[in-house]
Amino acid sequence: MVPIADVLKEYLLADTSKQQQHNEPAQTGLVFAKDHTEAPPVTRRLPRFYHKKGTKSNVAKLLEKAKRAHFIAREREAVLSNEELDDLWLAFEKYGRDAPGNDKRISYSHFAQLRSLFSPKFAPFLQPSIYMHFVKDEDGAISAGQFFNYVLRKVSLMQARIDLSEYDSDQDGFITEEELQTYLEDLMPSLNLNTLTKSFHKFYLCTAARKFAFFLDPQRKGKLSIANMLLSPILTEVFELREPDLTKDMERANWFSAYSALRVYGQFLNLDTDKNGMLSRQELARYASGTMTDVFLDRIFQECPTFGGEMDYRSFLDFVLAIENIQTPEAMSYLFRMLDIAKQGYLDEFTILYFFKVSCQHQFTSFQSACDEVSPGCSNQDRGTWPRARAYSRR
């Protein structure tokens, strides 16, 4: 009987030889002339630049899912709870001295004493380096209210980072727009969106997620960086809807409020006269009381994604976000693509005349006065052109 070790050794040697014969041409990835019998020695050592991802077994997927759930649970335990935050504020009231504006001032000696009173979970917030970042008075004390707001903000970001990581399916630090919609859907019960009907939820999720995509994915890669989302004020705007006493003015100014979502979707429905769920050029021309010129409308439908020559709701949201946030670099980049007919990276006098010849007749006495109004900061050598970078600098 042949020993099992010899059989395995022979099998492994044969399998390795087959893999080398099969993979050697693919490793170089080069094509040589017919009179060359083999690749030069240097090219034979070139590594492969692309490795196709293999399919994972069900056991591997379950193991990875369990590992990820364990990691997220451990991270959640490290976040301060509401009860622990209340204990921290009570400690500030106990050891701090009174200050104007119902505030408390806490000295460094008391600040250092807090580290021995609380669990190691508080240690990242009670470091001397953190204390030195705050403005100190003549006695060297800092505002307890400012410090506590810093802790609240940091805890909120940590919690949001963990929550968003749960929806990052491939764990690469990015989430897709569909994964973001799932996150927002789970977040909706905690927001002041009681006036929205269940049938409108899918349109609300599309409206809300599109603002993230417009500002945080300008190159339209189809995924959003979680780190950029945490640093962006857009996520803070979402969390504003958690406030129970949100004023009417704040609600109207918030893109994620029920009022704003219904307003934008109502605009889309009013423009869609044939009720096919899409906007034609003629239908979009009625936007803003028909103030857009024909040439600008043509450019919108040339540059924006369309389906059968008509604009869907997602493209309409990009258009509205650009118009309503025209001072932002993302909106300028969106509109600059419409104006840059020749795709040359700047606007010359011909392009400006092409778009503004109708408005010039009503607002300016001559075309030269229009150019002077648009580009007052251009030097003599730049006169007659309007670069993209200059447009950003004038926002």
Q: At 169, is the pLDDT very low, low, confident or very high (cuts 50, 70, 90)?
A: confident
pLDDT at 26 over 50: no
Q: At 350, is the pLDDT very low, low, confident or very high (cuts 50, 70, 90)?
A: confident
* DSSP sequence for 183-235: HHHHHGGGSS-TTS-GGGHHHHHHHHHHHHHHHH-TT--SEEEHHHHHHSHHH
pLDDT at 391 over 50: no
Question: Which has the minimum average pLDDT: 249-263, 318-332, 348-362?
Answer: 348-362
pLDDT at 393 over 50: no
3-state secondary structure of 55: coil
Of 131, 130, 123, 190, nearest in space to 160 by CA: 190
pLDDT at 364 over 80: no
Q: What is the mean pLDDT of residues 293-309?
A: 88
The whole-number pLDDT of residue 381 equals 52
The whole-number pLDDT of residue 12 equals 52
Distances from the Cα of 83 to the Cα of 79, 87, 151, 228, angstroms: 11, 6, 14, 29
The whole-number pLDDT of residue 374 equals 53
DSSP H or E segment with residue 20: helix 4-28
Of 163, 168, 165, nearest in space to 238 by CA: 163
d(CA 249, CA 226): 29
Q: What is the Cα Rg of the chain in Å? A: 30
Task: Indicate if the alpha-carbon torsion angle 342, 345, 349, 352 is positive or negative.
Answer: positive
Q: At 39, is the pLDDT very low, low, confident or very high (cuts 50, 70, 90)?
A: low
Q: What is the mean pLDDT of residues 11-21?
A: 51
pLDDT at 394 over 90: no
The tokens describing 291, both together, are 């103030």
The whole-number pLDDT of residue 99 equals 80
Count of residues making up the chain: 395
d(CA 65, CA 263): 40
Are the beta carbons of 138 and 178 closer than 8 angstroms?
Answer: no
Amino acid of residue 369: S
Are the beta carbons of 99 and 143 closer than 8 angstroms?
Answer: yes
The whole-number pLDDT of residue 378 equals 52
Please identify which residue in the block is written with the tokens 């492969």.
48
**Residue ranges of E strands in the chain:** 97-99, 103-106, 142-143, 174-176, 223-225, 346-348, 385-387
Beta bridge partners of 223: 176
Q: At 241, is the pLDDT very low, low, confident or very high (cuts 50, 70, 90)?
A: very high
Q: What is the mean pLDDT of residues 218-241?
A: 91
* DSSP sequence for 77-109: HTSPPHHHHHHHHHHHHHHSEEETTTEEEE-HH
The tokens describing 338, both together, are 């419409």
Which has more confidence, 25 or 352?
A: 352
pLDDT at 202 over 90: yes
pLDDT at 188 over 90: yes
Are the beta carbons of 388 and 346 closer than 8 angstroms?
Answer: yes
Q: Structure pTM?
A: 0.73
The whole-number pLDDT of residue 2 equals 47
Of 156, 181, 187, 183, nearest in space to 167 by CA: 183
Q: At 3, is the pLDDT very low, low, confident or very high (cuts 50, 70, 90)?
A: low
Question: Which has the minimum average pLDDT: 204-213, 284-293, 315-324, 328-337?
Answer: 284-293
d(CA 29, CA 26): 5
Question: Which has the minimum average pLDDT: 273-287, 299-313, 341-355?
Answer: 341-355
3-state secondary structure of 111: helix
The whole-number pLDDT of residue 392 equals 45
Phi (first) and psi of residue 238, to 5 degrees: -65, -45
Task: Indicate if the alpha-carbon torsion angle 182, 186, 192, 193 is positive or negative.
Answer: positive
- Residue 385: count other Cβ atoms within 10 Å of its Cβ: 17
Tens digit of each residue's pLDDT (9 = 90 or more) over 109-150 = 999 998 888 988 999 999 999 999 999 988 899 999 999 999
The whole-number pLDDT of residue 388 equals 55
Beta bridge partners of 346: 387
Q: Which residues contact 336 (CB under 8 A, 6 or more apart)?
A: 388, 391
Tell me how far apart the terminal alpha carbons of the chain are, to the nearest angstrom: 85
Mean pLDDT estimate for the chain: 82
Tens digit of each residue's pLDDT (9 = 90 or more) over 62-121 = 888 888 888 888 989 989 999 999 999 999 888 888 887 778 899 999 999 988 889 889
The tokens describing 148, both together, are 């506590």
pLDDT at 370 over 70: no
Q: At 154, is the pLDDT very low, low, confident or very high (cuts 50, 70, 90)?
A: very high
